[in-house]
């Protein structure tokens, strides 16, 4: 469903096959280092602008590389790449990227390597390839050998790649060297390929522990569960439903100038079960309880659902709220609700009775009220 | 003619690919409240079943199921114009391609799955983008009020049909990438006092098959649409398509847009939101940049959602005339647990004897059976007529009875004809179907003995015992059982009928206690069989006693009812609704003590 990064090692292995001599080094696995030679060592975890951050070492011996790896490991990295150095002149460097677009595959090319294409659009040629004819045109316009370009396009398409950036690309005597490569694959393609898998997907950002737990939960259900921590000491905590509706509700807080108060963003959708909703809600509530803000509001809100059962998901949220009810009262948390959809009436009644009984009641709105009603109430309460 | 006008002209038939009963039911509810005579869902593809049961209004019906699109019979093919693909992302591509290969004249469809690979989406665009209307991948589908509900769009709870006024045609087109917000906007339009011309959820994927531009041009060319309400998000460049269409004057109807994603500014780096596309990759993809571009082109793009809703009220509309929807018919309905057909018409009253003469003199299979079991040629046409009458009456007594239920449950568990039939036959005994034999024994005792009917009843019912052949759930004194009356006419063919007389005497006693304790079909059948055998076939009392002990009268039930059970068996195999399981709420469970 989303585009995800795979390791540079895997991308190059898929593109070049056995001719690729790079070595993947992982801290948790033993890896035999080569005896001699001159190498390039780098962090292989989808980090942007590695060179500037000092995460690439060029022209090193295996021993020097091992030292670098140990150093980077201390910085929190765990996956590295060791590649034979390709001696070349800087004017041999080029830029090439492929992006899957509606009409085919969009190719960006520049005769200069190592450039930031965003800042130098004038140096970049843009082409879209949908057939062989296009391919020939691009090949002659860029001077990239047709066989190589065709090979890259085929591999890209067949392996469900979504984006590939080779920067720099060096072509010497008809042989292409991919000095640096970044690759996004389409995670929905995983079922159809054997060339890459979960093990090759890199996560560049170390998630907050709550985020990590929700991610784990997400992996076990067809429903959608997402959580991002914005401000651990925020006042407004969101238990939102729906990919689009959740943004509208969060927008309202930002637009009303309460952006600084937002503790988290997240959403559940796609009909999670009562149990899944319970586990998800628990993470958000726990996060809120840890915030040191003086006034705290929980916003349980969403649009008019198409098929997510309001009663069922609210039962799951109530399960989680019950578990923390004394602490929530202690911290004087109030709960603000807006929701519509299947079994709306029963769900809202259930929630209303519960919040009343537990003295957590902030406000409750159904589908006749505006989607932003609950968050508006919560802002008034928290500010 | 565009897709929407074609739909309004009756091209409404849907083929559902995959299993999502909740969505299918919501479509049938929509069809029903819109006043359609038959559901728009023509058939369902997938699963091992041959049919699936749904409500159409207050009653149920079976929608045929097929293993794949090629199995849809010719007779149904002409009705299919739309595909609703609710299969997983892994299967959606292949099944969509084969749908359009089989139904090249179909108008389009909806792909529900959220995880369809980009590579498949772009290939679908290449093949069908120019000629079909395809909502998705992902999202909730496509809706034309009063005519077509293709997907979860508008909700899956019957109450939402009324709240969102989905049966009434209007002037506002709702277009959204987000499925949830499509429904939110549908409701918002109703709350603003407007009605929809159509609504479509394009889907939050990177490559929707039918693009935003194509949908907007559809709205532009649609005769009913007067304004467009649009919901978009940060990420992607779709909104620039709107800008371009407005600037090139290809889109002249007013556009009211809300582009969500200002919240992204609260993060240190751009965040991936719920939908695949919802990530700002370039500055131009931010919510703010897209709002500004829309405003510059002349579209309305309010800053906050409440402002957006307020502006909606000012969009052009027409006088709204909502039909009163038959919502009562959708309430409190309970799904049946088994389905079968009517084997014989139980309400039809047969006539066997008229003016002391047999109506039919034909001797048939029943006569042959009587002769085989009694080991003699029948002497009297009255006996033959009685045999035919009894067998006809006993073929079936509805699918609700124990034996039929057991037969059906076995059939649905995948058992063969003989096994399923055996399970039904093995149910026959003292409480089910065994009453004819018991009643025959009882009337024989009564006539041979010296007791009065009153004494007989008194003695037999001591300790709460029931009399065989007496009592009915529905009929009572004053409301006679027409089948009993029809059989009783056989008595007019006889000079004497002591068994029948005794049974009627007993009935007088029992009905004096309770009006529903009347002589029933089993009882009258047993009594008249004894009379006919005694008088027309000259069987002695000993010979009659032997018929009771050798269970001849049970055979009288088992033979015709076998036919009924087989009919219920065949019906199960034909529909093949899958393994039967009793719904939890229909079973009382005494909990273990803890």
Give me the residue from A248, A255, A267 closest to B303, CB to CB: A255
Measured CA to CA, the distance from residue A72 to residue B281 in angstroms comes to 28
- Least confident span in A301-310, B141-150, B242-251: A301-310
Q: What is the mean pLDDT of residues B378-397?
A: 92
Q: What is the mean pLDDT of residues B527-531?
A: 97
Q: What is the pLDDT of residue B1?
A: 60
Measured CA to CA, the distance from residue B202 to residue B205 in angstroms comes to 8
Share in percent of chain B as helix, strand, coil (round to 5): 45, 15, 40
Interface test with A, best of B180, B287, B288 (most A CBs within 10 A): B180
Measured CA to CA, the distance from residue A379 to residue A216 in angstroms comes to 31
Measured CA to CA, the distance from residue A144 to residue A95 in angstroms comes to 11
DSSP letter for each residue of A88-141: --GGGEEEEEEEEETTEEEEEEESSSS--TTT-GGG-EEEEE-SHHHHHHHHHH
- Residue B436 to residues A169, B123, B306, B441: CA-CA distances in angstroms? 94, 70, 75, 9
Q: What is the DSSP letter of B301?
A: -
Question: How do residues B411-440 score in pLDDT, each as one tens digit?
Answer: 999 999 999 999 999 999 888 888 999 999
Q: Is B275 one of the annotated active-site residues of the chain? A: yes
Task: List beta partners, residue B135.
Answer: B110
pLDDT exceeds 60 at position A1: no
Q: What is the mean pLDDT of residues B60-79?
A: 93
Map out the domains of chain A as residue ranges.
Answer: 21-84, 90-178, 209-382
- Least confident span in A83-87, A338-342, B46-50, B144-148: B46-50
- Residue B404 to residues B398, B417, B523: CA-CA distances in angstroms? 8, 13, 21
A47: distance to nearest CA of chain B, Å? Answer: 14
Q: Cβ–Cβ of B262/A367 closer than 8 Å?
A: no
Angle at B32 between CA B29 and CA B38, to 5 degrees: 115
Measured CA to CA, the distance from residue B589 to residue B417 in angstroms comes to 32
- Judged by a CB distance cut-off of 8 A, whether residue A366 touches chain B is no
pLDDT exceeds 60 at position B195: yes
Q: What is the mean pLDDT of residues B282-306?
A: 94
Look at residue B380 and give its three-state secondary structure.
Answer: coil
Measured CA to CA, the distance from residue B16 to residue B38 in angstroms comes to 16
Interface test with B, best of A3, A130, A248 (most B CBs within 10 A): A248
Instruction: Spell out the domains of chain B, with CATH numbers in brackets.
Output: 3-317+325-330 (3.40.50.261), 354-575 (no CATH)
Which of the residues B275, B397, B497, B568 is marked catalytic? B275
Give me the residue from A224, A262, A307 closest to B22, CB to CB: A307
Q: What is the mean pLDDT of residues A341-350?
A: 94
Question: How do residues B535-580 score in pLDDT, each as one tens digit?
Answer: 999 999 999 999 999 999 999 999 999 999 999 999 999 988 889 9
Q: How far is CA B364 from the centre of its chain?
A: 39
Measured CA to CA, the distance from residue B57 to residue A69 in angstroms comes to 69
Q: What is the pLDDT of residue B493?
A: 94
- Least confident span in A349-353, B258-262, B302-306, B313-317: B313-317
Interface test with A, best of B118, B150, B202 (most A CBs within 10 A): B118
Chain A residues near residue B309 by CB distance under 8 angstroms: 370
Share of chain A above pLDDT 70, in %: 98
Nearest chain B residue to A311, by CA:
B157
Instruction: Check: CB of residue A15 under 8 Å from CB of residue A161.
Output: no
Burial class for B217, CB neighbours closer than 10 Å (0-12, 13-18, 19+): middle
* pLDDT band (50, 70, 90) for residue B326: confident
Q: Cβ–Cβ of A304/B184 closer than 8 Å?
A: yes
The architecture CATH gives domain A90-178: 2-Layer Sandwich (3.30)
Chain A residues near residue B152 by CB distance under 8 angstroms: 306-307
Give me the residue from B262, B267, B275 closest to A230, CB to CB: B267
Give the residue with greater pLDDT, A230 vs B229: B229
Q: Cβ–Cβ of A368/B23 closer than 8 Å?
A: no
Nearest chain A residue to B238, by CA:
A102
Instruction: Check: CB of residue B473 under 8 Å from CB of residue B400.
Output: no
Q: What is the pLDDT of residue A205?
A: 55
Interface list for A 131-170 with B (CB within 8 A): 157, 160, 162
Q: Say how many C-beta atoms besides its own lie within 10 A of residue B540's C-beta.
A: 10
Chain B residues near residue A191 by CB distance under 8 angstroms: 90
Burial class for B88, CB neighbours closer than 10 Å (0-12, 13-18, 19+): middle
Which has the closest alpha carbon to A341: B204, B163, B19?
B163
Question: How do residues A212-227 score in pLDDT, each as one tens digit?
Answer: 899 888 888 888 899 9
pTM over 0.80: yes
Task: List beta partners, residue A80.
Answer: A25, A43
Torsion (CA) A186, A191, A196, A200 in degrees, nearest 10 = 70
pLDDT exceeds 90 at position B309: yes
Measured CA to CA, the distance from residue B577 to residue B574 in angstroms comes to 9
- Domain range A209-382, its CATH number among 3.30.830.10, 3.50.30.30, 3.40.50.300, 3.40.50.261: 3.40.50.261
Q: Say how many C-beta atoms besides its own lie within 10 A of residue A331's C-beta.
A: 15
- Domain range A21-84, its CATH number among 2.60.120.10, 3.30.1490.20, 3.40.50.880, 2.40.170.20: 3.30.1490.20
Question: How do residues A51-61 score in pLDDT, each as one tens digit?
Answer: 888 999 999 99
Q: What is the mean pLDDT of residues B190-196?
A: 94
Interface list for A 181-210 with B (CB within 8 A): 186-189, 191-192
Q: Cβ–Cβ of A302/B266 closer than 8 Å?
A: no
Question: Strand runs (DSSP E) across B104-184, as ranges?
Answer: 108-111, 133-135, 141-144, 148-150, 172-176
Share of chain B above pLDDT 70, in %: 100
Q: What is the pLDDT of residue B539?
A: 95
Q: Cβ–Cβ of B114/A1 closer than 8 Å?
A: yes
Instruction: Check: CB of residue B186 under 8 Å from CB of residue B196.
Output: yes
A281: distance to nearest CA of chain B, Å? Answer: 17
Measured CA to CA, the distance from residue B362 to residue B385 in angstroms comes to 8
Q: What is the pLDDT of residue B546?
A: 96
Question: How do residues B435-473 score in pLDDT, each as one tens digit?
Answer: 999 999 999 999 998 889 999 999 998 888 889 999 988
Nearest chain B residue to A250, by CA:
B263
Q: What is the pLDDT of residue B347?
A: 79
Measured CA to CA, the distance from residue B374 to residue B543 in angstroms comes to 10
- Residue B555 to residues A284, B418, B429, B547: CA-CA distances in angstroms? 70, 18, 12, 10
pLDDT exceeds 90 at position B334: no
Q: What is the pLDDT of residue A206?
A: 55
Q: What is the pLDDT of residue A204?
A: 54
Average pLDDT, chain A: 92
Instruction: Give me the phi and psi of B429, to 5 degrees please.
Output: -175, -155
């Amino acid at each position: 469903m989303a585009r995800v990064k795979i390791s540079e090692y895997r991308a190059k292995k898929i593109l070049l096959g056995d001719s690729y001599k790079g070595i993947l080094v992982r801290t948790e696995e033993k890896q035999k280092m080569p005896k001699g030679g001159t190498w390039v060592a780098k962090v292989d975890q989808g980090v942007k602008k590695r060179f500037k951050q000092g995460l690439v070492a060029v022209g090193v011996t295996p021993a020097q590389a091992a030292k670098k790896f140990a150093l980077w490991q201390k910085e929190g990295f765990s996956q590295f790449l060791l590649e034979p150095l390709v001696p070349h002149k800087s004017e041999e460097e080029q830029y090439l990227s492929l992006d899957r677009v509606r009409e085919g595959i969009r190719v960006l090319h520049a005769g200069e390597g190592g450039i930031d294409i965003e800042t130098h659009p004038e140096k970049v040629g843009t082409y879209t390839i949908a057939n062989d004819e296009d391919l020939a045109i691009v090949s002659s316009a860029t001077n990239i050998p047709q066989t190589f370009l065709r090979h890259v396009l085929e591999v890209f398409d067949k392996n469900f790649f979504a984006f590939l950036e080779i920067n720099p690309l060096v072509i010497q005597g008809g042989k292409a060297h991919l000095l640096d490569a970044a690759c996004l694959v389409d995670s929905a393609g995983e079922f159809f390929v054997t060339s890459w898998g979960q093990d090759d997907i890199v996560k560049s950002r170390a998630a907050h522990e709550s985020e990590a737990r929700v991610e784990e939960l997400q992996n076990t259900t067809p429903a959608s569960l997402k959580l991002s921590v914005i401000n651990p000491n925020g006042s407004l905590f969101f238990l939102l439903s729906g990919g689009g509706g959740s943004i509208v509700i969060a927008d309202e807080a930002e637009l009303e100038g309460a952006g600084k108060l937002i503790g988290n963003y997240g959403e559940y959708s796609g009909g999670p079960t009562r149990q899944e909703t319970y586990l998800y809600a628990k993470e958000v509530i726990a996060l809120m309880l840890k915030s040191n803000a003086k006034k705290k509001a929980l916003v349980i809100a969403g649009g008019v659902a198409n098929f997510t059962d309001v009663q069922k998901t609210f039962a799951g949220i109530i399960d989680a709220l019950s578990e923390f009810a004394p602490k929530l009262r202690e911290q004087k948390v109030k709960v603000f609700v807006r929701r519509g959809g299947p079994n709306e009436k029963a769900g809202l009644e259930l929630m209303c009775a519960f919040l009343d009984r537990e003295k957590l009641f902030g406000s409750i709105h159904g589908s006749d009220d505006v989607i932003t009603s609950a968050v508006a109430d919560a802002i008034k309460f928290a500010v | 003619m565009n897709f929407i006008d074609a739909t309004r002209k009756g091209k409404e038939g849907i083929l559902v690919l995959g299993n999502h009963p909740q969505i299918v039911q919501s479509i049938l509810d929509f069809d029903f409240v819109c006043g359609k005579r038959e559901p728009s869902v023509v058939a369902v593809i997938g699963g091992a079943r041959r049919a699936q049961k749904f409500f159409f209004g207050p009653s149920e019906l079976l929608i045929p199921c097929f293993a794949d699109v090629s199995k849809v019979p010719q007779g149904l093919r002409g009705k299919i114009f739309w595909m609703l693909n609710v299969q997983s992302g892994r299967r959606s591509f292949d099944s969509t391609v084969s749908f359009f290969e089989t139904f090249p004249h179909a108008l389009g469809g909806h792909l529900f799955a959220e995880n369809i690979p980009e590579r498949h989406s772009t290939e679908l665009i290449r093949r069908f983008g120019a000629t079909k209307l395809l909502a998705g991948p992902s999202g909730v589908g496509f809706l034309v009020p009063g005519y077509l509900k293709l997907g979860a769009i508008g909700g899956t709870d019957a109450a939402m049909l009324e709240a969102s006024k989905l049966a009434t045609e209007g002037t506002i087109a709702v277009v959204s990438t987000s499925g949830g917000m499509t429904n939110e906007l549908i409701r918002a339009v109703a709350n603003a006092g407007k009605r929809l011309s159509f609504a479509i959820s394009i889907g939050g994927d990177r490559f929707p098959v039918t693009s935003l531009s194509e949908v907007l041009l559809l709205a532009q060319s649609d005769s009913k649409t007067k304004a467009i309400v649009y919901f978009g998000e940060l990420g992607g460049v779709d909104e620039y398509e709107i800008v371009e269409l407005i600037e090139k004057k290809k889109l002249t109807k007013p556009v009211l847009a809300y582009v969500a994603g200002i919240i992204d500014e609260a993060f240190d780096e751009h965040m991936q939101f719920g939908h695949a596309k919802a990530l700002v990759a370039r500055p131009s993809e931010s919510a703010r940049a897209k709002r500004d571009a829309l405003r510059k082109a002349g579209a309305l793009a309010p800053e906050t959602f409440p402002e957006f809703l307020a502006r909606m009220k000012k969009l052009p509309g027409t006088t709204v005339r909502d039909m009163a929807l038959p919502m009562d018919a959708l309430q409190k309905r309970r799904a049946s647990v088994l389905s079968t057909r009517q084997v014989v018409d139980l309400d039809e009253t047969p006539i066997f004897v008229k003016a002391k003469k047999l109506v039919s003199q034909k001797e048939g299979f029943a006569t042959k059976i009587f002769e085989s079991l009694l080991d003699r040629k029948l002497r009297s046409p009255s006996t033959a007529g009685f045999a035919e009458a009894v067998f006809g009456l006993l073929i079936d007594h509805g699918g609700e009875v124990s034996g039929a239920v057991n037969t059906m449950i076995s059939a649905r568990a995948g058992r063969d004809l003989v096994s399923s039939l055996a399970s039904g036959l093995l149910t026959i005994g003292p409480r089910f179907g065994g009453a004819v034999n018991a009643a025959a024994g009882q009337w024989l005792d009564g006539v041979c003995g010296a007791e009065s009917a009153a004494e007989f009843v008194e003695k037999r019912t001591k300790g709460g015992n029931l009399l065989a052949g007496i009592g009915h759930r529905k009929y009572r004194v004053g409301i006679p059982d027409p089948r009993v009356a029809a059989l009783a006419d056989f008595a007019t063919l006889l000079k004497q009928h002591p068994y029948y007389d005794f049974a009627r005497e007993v009935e007088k006693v029992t009905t004096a206690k309770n009006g529903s304790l009347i002589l029933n079909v089993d009882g009258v059948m047993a009594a008249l069989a004894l009379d006919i055998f005694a008088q027309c076939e000259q069987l002695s009392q000993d010979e009659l006693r032997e018929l009771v002990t050798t269970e001849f009268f049970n055979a009288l039930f088992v033979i015709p009812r076998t036919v009924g059970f087989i009919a219920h068996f065949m019906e199960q195999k034909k529909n093949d609704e899958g393994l039967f399981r009793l719904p939890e709420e229909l079973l009382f469970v005494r909990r273990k003590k803890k």
